[in-house]
Structure 1
Amino acid sequence: MVCIDVHHHFFPADLNKEGSNEKLGWKTPPGTLPWSPGVSLRAMDASGIDIAILSLPALSMGSVSEENRAVTRERNLAMSSIAQQHSGRFGFLGCLPFLDDIEGVLKEIAYCFDELQADGISLASSYGVGVHATYIGDDKYDAIWAELHRRKAVVFLHGAMVASSTPTPHPFLPIPVSEVPNETFRAAAHLVVSGRKRLYSNVKIILAHLGGTTPSLAPRVSVLSRHMGCPLTPEEILEDFKSFYYETALSSYDANLVCIDKFVDPSHILFGTDFPAVSVEMAGWYTKNVRDHYGPEGRKLEMVFGGNALALFPRLQMKQDIK
């Protein structure tokens, strides 16, 4: 049984030091940073993971500039190099310049797929700061979605590190714990009610952390957004929420997995860990829950751990065939 981790982070030099997330209140576990491919390979071997798909941590701040484009290109070249040097162990999702740079984004999408053979693209839930932040379903990003739709791209959507309008309730509940899952839901809901999930249906979108609060709030959106003027029916809204893919990182617990089993087709559930933002032991707690939940259904366990990802990422299937 192949195991593919679709939520596994690449840390570039400017983020690659212990404590780099402390301003967000997050304590990076000892031993995960500074990160290198070797750190991930040791964790993968210890956890029984065959392939990890690298993605940059969700970064929503930036500017429209040549410098931003250059930094993005450097990061994509680094991930591509890692995937080539460790063939069969890593795939990668290309990152993009600050999303308001439409021209730069479209050029980088082409470079990622045509030159670097990326497995997909990673996006944050919104881009910008405070009142100037824009969710990814906004009208101004239509050209980007149209291109991803044309390419039938896989997109990994991760909630941005956005602070709430009120202070975090407790030091034990910093932004990554209490806000990021809600941001994933907001972006997913925005794509649905704006009609873009349906319009650009060729794009296969993976929601991080089982979609955060998406499965429980989707029925609320289906009726109340219709009431607020959404042209989609409640059934169509729910249908579009069910068309996302959902990965298990930091969210797999029996009650949550029962919920996602009821909500989406089994082929839309993927395995993830969020390493190295968390330790092998922390990720292992959730992995055990996946095994315990799907273990009695051997075929479904195989689908969640790797079969569904192989269907979603054909290049990984080719690597498995070569092996």
Structure 2
Amino acid sequence: MRIDVHAHYWTDDYLDLLVGLGKTDTATQRGMGAGRGAELATRLRLMDRAGVDMQVLSSAPQNPYGEDRVKAVAAARFVNDQYAGVVAAYPDRFMAFASAPLPHIDAAIAEIRRALDDLGMVGVALNTTVLGRALVDPEFAPVFSELDRRGAVLYLHPAGNSACSPLIADYHLTWMAGAPIEDTISVMQLITNGFPLRYPNIRIINSHLGGALPMLLQRADNQYPWEAPQTPEAPSVIARMMWYDTVGHGHLPALRAAIDSFGADRLLLGTDFPYEADKIFVRAIDYISDPSIAPEESAAILETNAERLFGLVHAASRTA
């Protein structure tokens, strides 16, 4: 079963709630094909064309974050209910990651419990930062403890904040370069703070092949003893305790670097729909089967890794 773990879905009425929370970038998310009605029908046809069986929907980076607790909770409940409705209408095509109203810790944990227990969501999606704060900051520890207690899947996506750097934002690089830099910073923070060891039951998925991480693992192994001596294990070891989606815009050298760095068993199919649509969407799947990739590695990435991660192996074998 081909499961696309990096797929966006949102509607204008949800984006309107985010505007009320202070979001200023929702205009670029509208009319892209990420919504319901005709847009959803077009998405399903494209999935069929590319051979994608299911998508795991997430609202990241348009997560319901904001200092206004009441508005953040209302937005989180709205989008989670909306996602549950889509999954109920198309149970063979969609699953969903829950959204949480951060930085409000108690409310976030309550909504995560509701989404996972009552709405049947398969994990939680967080941005790599929360209003500019790192996920490894102690204030978010109760959320990670809850996810670890539950053995939850945690999907991480860049916030689109240019890594809080004007050198990125002021030069039109927020998504071309800023997003993978956000990925890189986030995953390195998880590594140097030992999160996969501290919270061993959380199944962490990082976006975009882990950003620049495949090119940095040996550098990190060489330099962490003096720069981040609190790191509990070599970065290359901790990196292989997490998962990474294959969103690389069809760039084969990046995919091969990720396979060599993490192992094919740690990669999951991702498309970044609707940012990768039409022919680019098809390419996001097809490039994983390039002749330069071993067939068994392609099969693991496309077919079995996500099934195992989400506990669907037995269900898939029964329907085969």
Name the amino acid aligned to 1:45: D
- Are the counterparts in 2 of residues 28 and 278 from structure 1 also a CA contact under 8 Å? no
Aligned to 1:192: 191
Aligned to 1:256: 254
Instruction: Tell me by how many angstroms 1:57 deviates.
Output: 2.6
SS of the residue aligned with 1:141? helix
> CA 1:306 to 1:237, structure 2 compared with 1: closer, same or farther past 3 Å?
same
Q: Does 1:32 align with 2:30?
A: no
Aligned to 2:99: 95
Aligned to 1:221: 220
Distance 2:285 2:94 in 1: 19
Write the mapping of 1:142-161 to structure 2, written as runs, cut at 5 A.
142-161=141-160
Name the amino acid aligned to 1:32: G
> CA 1:277 to 1:320, structure 2 compared with 1: closer, same or farther past 3 Å?
farther
Instruction: Tell me by how many angstroms 1:255 deviates.
Output: 1.4
- Are the counterparts in 2 of residues 7 and 272 from structure 1 also a CA contact under 8 Å? yes
Aligned to 1:83: 87
SS of the residue aligned with 1:117? coil
Q: Does 1:312 align with 2:313?
A: no
Name the amino acid aligned to 1:286: A
Aligned to 1:105: 108
User: Aligned-pair RMSD on alpha carbons?
Assistant: 2.8
- Are the counterparts in 1 of residues 194 and 238 from structure 2 also a CA contact under 8 Å? no
Name the amino acid aligned to 1:211: G
Distance 2:82 2:313 in 1: 19
Aligned to 2:201: 202
- Are the counterparts in 1 of residues 60 and 126 from structure 2 also a CA contact under 8 Å? no
Distance 2:28 2:89 in 1: 30
Distance 1:168 1:285 in 2: 28
Instruction: Tell me by how many angstroms 1:300 deviates.
Output: 2.4
Aligned to 2:76: 72
Aligned to 2:266: 268
* Aligned-residue identity in percent: 22
- Are the counterparts in 1 of residues 33 and 40 from structure 2 also a CA contact under 8 Å? no
SS of the residue aligned with 1:274? coil
CA offset digits 1:129-179 (Å, max 9, x no partner) = xxxx211111111111111011111111111101252344897x5311110
When structure 1 is superposed on structure 2, of 24-33 and 284-293 the one drifting more is: 24-33
- Are the counterparts in 1 of residues 183 and 211 from structure 2 also a CA contact under 8 Å? yes
- Are the counterparts in 1 of residues 33 and 274 from structure 2 also a CA contact under 8 Å? yes
SS of the residue aligned with 1:179? helix
Aligned to 2:288: 290
Aligned to 2:67: 63
Gaps of 5+ in 1: none
Distance 1:103 1:267 in 2: 35
Distance 1:29 1:144 in 2: 30
SS of the residue aligned with 1:49? coil
Distance 1:207 1:305 in 2: 17
Q: TM-score, normalised by structure 1?
A: 0.86
Aligned to 1:302: 299
Q: 2:236 aligns with which of 235, 238, 246?
A: 238
> CA 1:319 to 1:69, structure 2 compared with 1: closer, same or farther past 3 Å?
farther
Aligned to 1:138: 137
Name the amino acid aligned to 1:111: R
Structure with higher RCO (Cα < 8 A, 6+ apart): 1
CA offset digits 1:254-287 (Å, max 9, x no partner) = 2112211211232211111011123221222332
Instruction: Tell me by how many angstroms 1:12 deviates.
Output: 2.9
When structure 1 is superposed on structure 2, of 119-128 and 311-320 the one drifting more is: 311-320
Distance 2:82 2:314 in 1: 23
> CA 1:269 to 1:180, structure 2 compared with 1: closer, same or farther past 3 Å?
same
> CA 1:33 to 1:254, structure 2 compared with 1: closer, same or farther past 3 Å?
closer
Distance 1:259 1:25 in 2: 33
Instruction: Tell me by how many angstroms 1:198 deviates.
Output: 1.4
Gaps of 5+ in 2: none
Instruction: Tell me by how many angstroms 1:49 deviates.
Output: 0.7
- Are the counterparts in 2 of residues 294 and 301 from structure 1 also a CA contact under 8 Å? no
Distance 2:108 2:15 in 1: 24
- Are the counterparts in 2 of residues 269 and 308 from structure 1 also a CA contact under 8 Å? yes
